[in-house]
A and B are shown apart, each in its own frame.
Chain A
Amino acid sequence: MNAATSRNLTIAFFVLLAFGGASPMVLGSARFPQWLEVVLGGLMSGVLYSLVAIGLVLIFKASGVFNFAQGAMVLFAALSLVRLMEKLPFIVALAFTIAIMVAVAWLIEYLVLRRLVNQDPIVLFMATLGIAYFLDGLGQTVWGSDIYTLHVGMPKEPKILLEGTFEGGILVSMEDVYAAVIAATLVGLLALFFQKTGTGRALRAVADDHQAAQSIGIPLNRIWVIVWSVAGLVALVAGVIWGSKLGVQFSLQLVALKALPVVILGGFTSIPGAIIGGLIIGLGEKISEVYLGPMLGGGIENWFAYVLALVFLLFRPEGLFGERHIDRV
């Protein structure tokens, strides 16, 4: 399949997606404000998927490891924070949690990655599966396995907006708005870090070519620790937002699994891809759940994202913004 057909198919996919998204309105089965609420809700949860996905992409770019443990890191970070906050003031607890995540990153590099250099990517992937299991067990052994509520001062009350424009207005959860703002800030900071600092430049160099980066004197091991720490911090932010929304509990891990279809939709190597992929998945999931779910018996949120990503991969195997891969013998 050549590039033009591939592009056309991608466009066709998006047109279909847009039609799918708008169809409930066009067909008249929904009122506009209500539809808008669903769309906004979908986009907001999409932002949260993106947050987890960004962590995945960071690590994949810098070390070629597909980090299945990102979800476990989200849970671990949130659990640490919530339990430390019981004893300590928020700022101190946050500082401790950050220290813990950096320590985890260093341990992963020292105990696992360093010993698996030059192995197949798939071996590294399975190693992160092991890390995920280990972190899950560790988090719950050390911090307990109940459901904890996390209060970080985000407003819980939903607000009614645009009351003048529509009858009844639209209901927007302020928590989601805050989350979106935090996520946007984080992405902005990451972009600054990657573009403007020396370390960020080194990270990008490693992402481009390990060997070349090493040959000009960039210490790979330290870069990996930094990348895993950054991914740990992103996991912490995601964990805080998810945790204050849903409570800190084991099922956070499953929510984080949703980041997988997001990255394959957006492409493994692209941070913008992770963001747009997250938005598409969040949106598609909500709209399908609200308007398609009742027809199919509900609960389709659980698999819709995966099937959407799967269908998309058939058209564009490297995702939206992923690097085109050319095999050579």
Chain B
Amino acid sequence: MIYRETGQFKSTYESDQQLFPILQDRIFVVGFLVFAFGVMPFIGSEYLFRAILVPFLILSLAAIGLNILVGYCGQVSLGTGAFMAIGAYSAYNLAVRVPDLNLIVVLLLAGVFATVVGVLFGIPSLRIKGFYLAVATLAAQFFVDWLFARVKWFTNDSSSGNVSAPPLQLFGHGIDTPAQRYLFVLAFVCVFALVARNLVRGAIGRSWMATRDMDVAAEVIGIRPMMAKLSAFAVSSFIVGVAGALWAFVYLGSWEPLAFDVNRSFQLLFMVIIGGLGSILGSFLGAAFIVILPLMLNQLPGWLGIPLSTALISHIEFMVFGALIVFFLIVEPRGLARLWAIGKEKLRLWPFPH
């Protein structure tokens, strides 16, 4: 009754092409952003920022990056953790070796480094596809893991292999409190989500999707597969690299290569599958799901009064994840984003279904 497009006429091309064509959607998004930027920093608890919102936002960003590659361009990657690591370590090296650099510049340059490596490891995608490519990206994962663990230059000769981010400063102001960190990350995520949303509905996004659906057919209608695939690898690893740098600097603070191992890659892939392949909103939903689920699972035995050891809980977590992946693939292969879309469709007709 409330949510419908009746009476909203589009009289210009601009209004036909806008991001959210339905007025209620626009109101909702603006309201949500106002709440996230204006209200949340004042009402959220420290735990909420530190344990839920900041990791959720950063992992959403990484999931958006991965979704561009897997969901929009159809190139399965098991090496996302590696690109996050490249972002994190290049940000670290830039911050340590060029101390005067602005934090935003550091993070963006970290993304640029990840892009270069991403394109490099994307080159095989021109010759190989599908599973072969998935295994090839594992090469990136294990190589990068090894590189940052063994080559001391990258960790500034730290003896334990552990590195710490310098104190975060932006234009002379420190970013110390959880609320400030949250706002900083939120701003990044909003900008990148907007950019990604516009990329995927533009010409370049269409070429990605054509390549995904059938690369030979895409080539026949004049899409250059090299440009499409490599640009997807570039954009994806740029976003993933920035997310990695944020993860290291804002969330972890100090970290070791293990923070970006192959399990991180799988985790991100799960987010994208559960959230919805080929959907920016799905990246957020998937990230929220995967961040919140372990917290719930940790709490649940306590609420029910069954004492379980942490090791057992982590094993059960594995089982639940595995079962959920299979469940989602069977019941709704297009993920939470699809459920959201179905809900919206239903809402448009409600309460008069005819």
Residues in A lying within 8 Å of B, measured CB to CB: 66, 111-112, 115-116, 119, 121-123, 125-127, 129-138, 140-141, 145, 257, 260-261, 263-264, 268, 296-300, 302-303, 306-307, 309-310, 313-314, 317, 319, 327-329
Which of B138, B315, B326 sits near A306, CB closer than 8 Å? B138
Q: Per a CB cutoff under 8 Å, which of B131, B269, B315 touches A145?
A: B315
Interface residues of B toward A: which range?
35 or more
Flag whether B30 is at the interface (Cβ < 8 A): no
- Cα–Cα, bound, A126→B328 (Å): 11
B contact residues around A264 at 8 Å (CB) = 131-132, 135-136
- Distance in Å: Cβ of B231 to nearest Cβ of chain A: 20
Q: Tell me which of B131, B136, B262, B333 contacts A310 (CB under 8 A).
A: B136
Report B3 CB to chain A, min CB distance, Å.
32
The stretch of B61-69, B143-151, B248-256 in contact with A is B143-151
**Chain B residues with CB below 8 A from A130, complex form:** 321-326, 329
Residues B134 and A125 in contact, CB atoms below 8 Å apart: yes
The B interface is mostly helix, strand or loop, or mixed, namely: helix
Contact of B146 among A138, A268, A300, A309 (CB under 8 A): A300
Q: Does B350 contact A (CB under 8 A)?
A: no
B324 neighbours in A (Cβ, 8 Å)? 130
Interchain CB contact (< 8 A) of A303 among B134, B142, B326 = B142
The residue that B323 contacts in the complex, of A129, A134, A261, with Cβ under 8 A, is: A134
Query: With an 8 A cutoff between CB atoms, is B273 at the interface?
Result: yes
- Could you tell me if A317 and B128 are in contact, using CB atoms closer than 8 angstroms? yes
Q: Do A138 and B139 have beta carbons less than 8 Å apart? A: no
Which of the segments B7-15, B199-207, B213-221, B285-293 contacts the partner chain?
B213-221
Residues in B lying within 8 Å of A, measured CB to CB = 74, 76, 124, 127-128, 130-132, 134-136, 138-139, 142-143, 145-146, 149-151, 214-217, 220, 262, 266, 269-270, 273, 311-312, 315-326, 329-330, 333
Residue of B nearest to A262 (CB): B135
B217, A127: Cβ atoms closer than 8 Å: no
Decide if A141 touches B329 in the complex (CB within 8 Å): no
Flag if A317 contacts B132 (CB, 8 Å).
yes
The 10 closest A-B pairs by CB, nearest first: A134-B322, A137-B318, A130-B325, A133-B322, A137-B319, A306-B139, A303-B142, A130-B326, A297-B150, A303-B143
